[in-house]
Amino acid sequence: MYELTVKNSFSSAHSIPDYDGKCARLHGHTWQVEVAVRGKHLDRKGMLVDFRKIKSGLDKIVTDLDHQYLNDLKIFKEEGINPTAENLAKYIYISLKEMINNYDVKLTMVRVWESPSASASYWEVD
C-alpha cells in the first residue's frame, strides 16, 4: 500500500456562535490543509498518482475558501453548521473525493490545522 500527502493553505475569518470563549467573536486563521490518498498499484512511471492531480483538486477548493468570511458561505450558512476545523475538514474531504474519484486511489484523510498546535481530521470508514 502506498500513501501520498499534499498540503495547501488559505486565510479566512470565521466566528463560532454560541461558543463560550474568544472564538465566538470574529477572528481569522491561516489554515493549513493536509490531504492523504492511498492505493495499491503504481503506474508504469512508478507513481501512485501524479501529485499535480491531487494538488489541482485541493487548489480549487482552497481558492473558494481563501479570504472569505466562512460563516457566510453557502456550505455553512444554508446547512446551519458552524465553520469549525472539524466541519471544514469534512467539507474539503467530500469535495475532493468527488474530484478524484476517477483515479485509482482512495482519499483516506483530510486534516485541517487552524494553528501550529491544533488540527481536526476527517475520514470515512469503509
Residues tagged in the binding site annotation: 14, 27, 29
What amino acid positions are annotated as catalytic residues?
A: 23, 67, 114
> Rounded distance, CA 35 to CA 111, Å?
6
Contact (Cβ atoms closer than 8 angstroms) between residue 62 and residue 8: yes
Tell me the angle at which helices 51-65 and 85-100 cross, rounded to the nearest 10 degrees. 130
Binding residues for Zn(2+): 14, 27, 29
